Structure 1
Amino acid sequence: MDGVIVDTEYYDFQIQVEFITMHNPNHTFSDKDLVNLVGKSYEDLYSLLQKFLDYKLSVEEIERAFNYFSEQRYRKIDYQKLFRKDILFTLDYAKEHELALAVASSSKHQHILDVLEACNIKDYFDIINSGESLVQSKPNPEIYLRTLNELNISANECLAIEDSYYGIAASRSAGIKTIAYKEKRMNIDQSNADICAVDMLEVFNIIKQYSKKEL
């Protein structure tokens, strides 16, 4: 969802870097180091932030501080402005051709609902799964395996759209053909994806091609 349906992945990254700089103003981490934050599950994110803060705070302290910090920033977000509206072509096409749709996101469940409702697309989706409810979120494939099971389909009957290294790793580990939504602002490794698309219109055309043949 974040970084695919809405262009929030880069915004998340900026918040994380701002948080690190606030607590560790003299850090010397490079963009290559910091980009490892992108697409992390919450548990992994807090542990990585602890490293970037030179272990000055406990994981529990970081969780409380970062959640408060990010919530303040997210109150200012207009998801409609970050909504990749061209995804509506894919959503409408899927409903017209009776293709199942699911969100499988590492984000908190309420955050997922807030975004989908703000973009007026929640009712398109048959399944909404959050990594919040799993023992291990991405890059572990559990969220995709659960989603496949709930949709009652096999991995070779679907496509995943991802943008982060960890998301791509999760979907590919579940055996799902994966489209990477190309990210140009951050040096994210998307090489493990089957296909890379530059925008939602290209994603739509790829989905149309695959829906007409066996995945």
Structure 2
Amino acid sequence: MDGTLVDTEPYWMAAEGELVESFGGTWTHEDALQLVGSGLWEAAKVFQRYGVDLPDDEIVAWLTERVREQLEEHGVPWRPGARELLQALREASVPTALVTMSIRSMAEDIVAAIPFDAFDLLVTGDEVAEAKPHPEPYLTAATQLGVAIGECLAIEDSPTGLASAASAGAVALGVPNILPLDDAPHHLLWPTLDGRTPADLAAAFITARTKTKTDASSGIDSEEETA
């Protein structure tokens, strides 16, 4: 969600800085980059090491509320092409799940701002035992959709998210936002979703799966980017 569907990473980074600094600590842009795509409860442990003297749940609640305030003040910043592609997928009756490490109430706020029925289900950070980069979030989504994970394509903007999708067994498509993805686990990279269609996704999926089978038959263990 954050960084793929909506460009809310700057909101999270601002909230993180306010929180750490309110306890007398220092939080740099580089510090924030290392948490992009991470689960909120995992991030809470990091903030505690930076001097935030609050329990995990209170840290998560404070950050979430601060981001909500920024969304109310500035509006929902959609990523280029994301809503348009999602709407085209829905019109084509393609099952979709939102897999995010934000909590459900935050995800529901974002989904409520989409002017169509965007997702069949949500898998959120407060509903899984293991956060990304663990495969559990994507495996959970596939199970709830009633499809094999190998038939799924995941769109992600962070190395953490791509690692989760790839390790689960989905085709992992990276669309960079704040972080470069060249060294992250992926099958394909696109510079943007703008102008992309369900047919493009289908072609990407076939390309990735064909290459995986070719690499396996050739004894190649790792997957490389396919243009």
Q: Same fold (TM over 0.5)?
A: yes
- Give the TM-score normalised by structure 2: 0.77
- 1:109 & 1:66 partners in 2: Cα distance? 12
Residue of structure 1 equivalent to 2:124: 130
1:134–1:142 CA contact under 8 A, matched in 2: yes
1:179–1:196 CA contact under 8 A, matched in 2: yes
In structure 2, the gaps of 5 or more residues are 210-227
Which letter does structure 2 place at the counterpart of 1:91? L
Shift of 1:128: 1.4
Residue of structure 1 equivalent to 2:184: 191
Query: Quick one: which of 94, 97, 114 aligns to 1:99?
Result: 94
Shift of 1:210: 3.2
2:173–2:188 CA contact under 8 A, matched in 1: yes
Shift of 1:168: 1.4
1:165–1:188 CA contact under 8 A, matched in 2: yes
Q: 1:10 to 1:165 in 2, by over 3 A?
A: farther
- 1:203 & 1:194 partners in 2: Cα distance? 17
Which letter does structure 2 place at the counterpart of 1:198? P
Shift of 1:206: 3.8
C-alpha RMSD of matched pairs (Å): 2.8
Query: Quick one: which of 36, 39, 49 aligns to 2:37?
Result: 39
Residue of structure 2 equivalent to 1:155: 149
Shift of 1:193: 2.2
What secondary structure sits across from 1:124 in the alignment? coil
Q: Does 1:5 align with 2:5?
A: yes
Q: Which has the higher contact order (CA 8 A, sep 6+)?
A: 1
In structure 1, the gaps of 5 or more residues are none
Aligned pair count? Answer: 207
Moved beyond 3 Å, runs of 4+ = 29-34, 78-81, 186-190, 202-206, 210-215
2:187–2:208 CA contact under 8 A, matched in 1: no
